[in-house]
Amino acid sequence: MRYIENFQEGEQIVAHYLCKKRETLKTKSGKNYLSLILADRTGECVARVWTLNNDIQSFEAGDFIKIEATVDVYNDQLQLNVRKIRKSGQGEFLPADYIPTVDGDIGEIYKSICGLIESVENKHLQALLQDTLINNTEVKEAFLSHSAARNMHHSYMGGLAEHSLNVAQICDFLAPRYKFVNRDLLVTAALLHDIGKIYELSPFPENDYTDQGKLIGHITMGANFASEQMGQIAGFPKDLQNLLVHCLLSHHGTLEYGSPIVPKTIEAFILSNADTLDAHTKQFEEHLAKAPANSPWAGFMRSGFNRDIRKSTP
């Protein structure tokens, strides 16, 4: 298996990959070509099929395919110039090669999540967390197996749980350091802030946006889900419900980043900043992990950063 993260310019590739996206486009001269996104557990790569002939056999998005291609560079990004394609046969590939997974032990991550749930003293909020992440087997399994994003950060199996735990731990650290913070509300909101991702993104190996995800989005779906869960808990205070839903709706911080409302409570403000901190720091970490070993510089990072990144350790 030749992993995408190890591609080098000019390299000849003969290997199996998951076709995540397939489009038929036209060149300026009107000639049809295929634009693909291929994936394995290390990442994704754009691929182009410029010549459509008998060497390009029938396949669809979602298929595993075997390709012959050359690694080229376009706009400072590696991409594949594909000459041959056929569907992969049973036994020709290992599914684990196409499912990126969290580095840590997902069992330990879940154990830490359960520890935070147990630490929540408000009986209504603890009941909400238990009903959602412990007693609801379907939601629990999806929460532990989904990614936190399609490709921006924590985009691997277990990434949603890892990101949610990180954000909750940051919030738990900050809560006692400022006045007027409702720690139980903040930790609960942190653990549930991205719960809508289990509906916004499809399971692996696809890990792509669902129709519901494209039309509604995880912020609204998460807030609706939490509201429904709270409505099933006897005596759940309406004011507390409103405060939690507000945290979920505003956790992207600004309208331009997708939140329908900006943070108006100290808990919502801390949550939005903790979410951004973990997501952006993870992007730094992933960029540094792919840096060349022989240079103190890790190269240019796009994805909204648009800057050269330097290593601080050898």
Q: From CA 276, how far away is CA 175, in angstroms rounded?
A: 17
| pLDDT string in tens for the chain (314-residue length) | 899 989 999 999 999 999 989 999 999 999 999 999 999 988 889 999 999 999 999 999 889 999 999 999 988 889 999 999 999 998 998 888 888 889 889 999 999 999 999 999 999 999 999 999 999 999 999 999 999 998 778 888 899 999 999 999 999 999 999 999 999 999 999 999 999 999 999 988 788 899 999 999 999 999 999 999 999 999 999 999 999 999 999 999 999 988 999 999 999 999 999 999 999 999 998 888 878 888 889 888 887 788 999 998 76
Q: From CA 116, how far away is CA 164, in angstroms rounded?
A: 11
Per-residue confidence (pLDDT) for residue 144, from 0 to 100: 96
Per-residue confidence (pLDDT) for residue 314, from 0 to 100: 63
Per-residue confidence (pLDDT) for residue 304, from 0 to 100: 76
Which amino acid is it at 68? E
Here the tokens at position 279 are 């997501």
The CA R_g of the chain, rounded to the nearest whole Å, is 22
Helices H / strands E in the chain, number of each: 10, 7
Per-residue confidence (pLDDT) for residue 100, from 0 to 100: 83
What residue ranges in 88-242 does DSSP mark as E strands? none
Here the tokens at position 224 are 């609706």
DSSP string computed for 111-153:
HHHHHHHHH---HHHHHHHHHHHTS-HHHHHHHHHS-SSSSSS
Q: What are phi and psi of 22, to 5 degrees?
A: -140, 125
Per the DSSP assignment, residues forming a β-bridge with 282 are none
CB 110 within 8 Å of CB 144: yes
Beta carbons within 10 angstroms of residue 119's beta carbon: 12
Which amino acid is it at 90? Q
